[in-house]
Amino acid sequence: MNINFEIQSTFYKWEIKLKINMQTSKNWIEHFKANALHQRVDWNLSPQLTTHETGTILHSLQAWQLGETSEGKNLIMASTKYAERIGDLYYVNAVRLFIKEEQKHGNNLGRYLDAIGQPRIQKDWGDTLFRRIRYLNTSMEAWTLAVIVVESTAQIFYQALKDATGCVLLKQICTDILIDEAYHITFQTERLASIFYSRSEFGRNFRKPFYKVFFYCTSALVWFAHRKLFKAGGNTFNGYMRKMAYKYQKTINTITSSLAMQIA
């Protein structure tokens, strides 16, 4: 959908006009509501996880289940301030539905852990670190960038999890998540693009290397935390980082190349 998008920059006191192929917040609300109606997991299936598979994937499965259960309070606060500033209050509702979809992932993974008789953990160092960073963060730009990176690693993670098991039920859960994550990345990338072009030329040039460092460092950290699962899914560190490099380039190309900017 082609729309003209105008942002009044309170930082730099100029008007930036963006022409971008992107969905409105209302469009995203409609998408999330429609997607919630899809039932892609057959819970009548019994989990079929071998002892070897359990030993390989359990820790990562528990950690990601915990990570998918965030209430998103700080993200809602940041998005509310941002939406009020740009005059798009529908955006907050879209973010709420995005969070609800993430929580669905956590609920499904938790239900699977219950089915195989394994506990839902309450603490994980990676989740604790990420939650503390999010707690201190009030910037919509930093929030959006962080979510894009995590969602990008999630695509590789859930594909690896899917490939590491023969359990049909777990594969269906992974497929459902992967379908959702593709839209999540688009949702967040569109927002980062509009934020990126609300900055000055100096600000944009400054941000590019920061985006890259943050993307690659976070990617490496996720590999370190879940390398056993990634390897079980057929990934090597170099192969994983090549996939993340492709995802980074795709993201940066979207926010810097698909927009036509004119400073009034």
Residue 133: predicted pLDDT = 60
**pTM, 2 dp:** 0.86
Walk along the chain (264 residues) and give the pLDDT tens digit of each residue.
333 333 333 322 222 333 445 789 999 999 999 999 999 999 999 999 999 999 999 999 999 999 898 888 888 999 999 999 999 989 999 999 999 999 999 999 999 999 999 999 987 666 666 666 655 566 899 889 999 999 999 999 999 999 999 999 999 999 999 999 999 999 999 999 999 988 888 888 889 999 999 999 999 999 999 999 999 999 999 999 999 999 999 999 988 874 434 332
pLDDT, residue 17, reads 36
Q: Which domains occur in the chain, in start order?
A: 2-263 (1.10.620.20)
In this prediction, residue 218 carries a pLDDT of 93
3-state secondary structure at position 246: helix
How far is residue 68 from each of residues 37, 105, 129, 246, 250, measured CA to CA in Å?
20, 6, 14, 24, 24
**Residue 257: per-residue pLDDT:** 72
The C-alpha atoms of residue 4 and residue 2 are separated, in whole angstroms, by: 7
User: Cα–Cα distances in Å, from 122 out to 61, 69, 114, 214?
Assistant: 13, 10, 14, 27
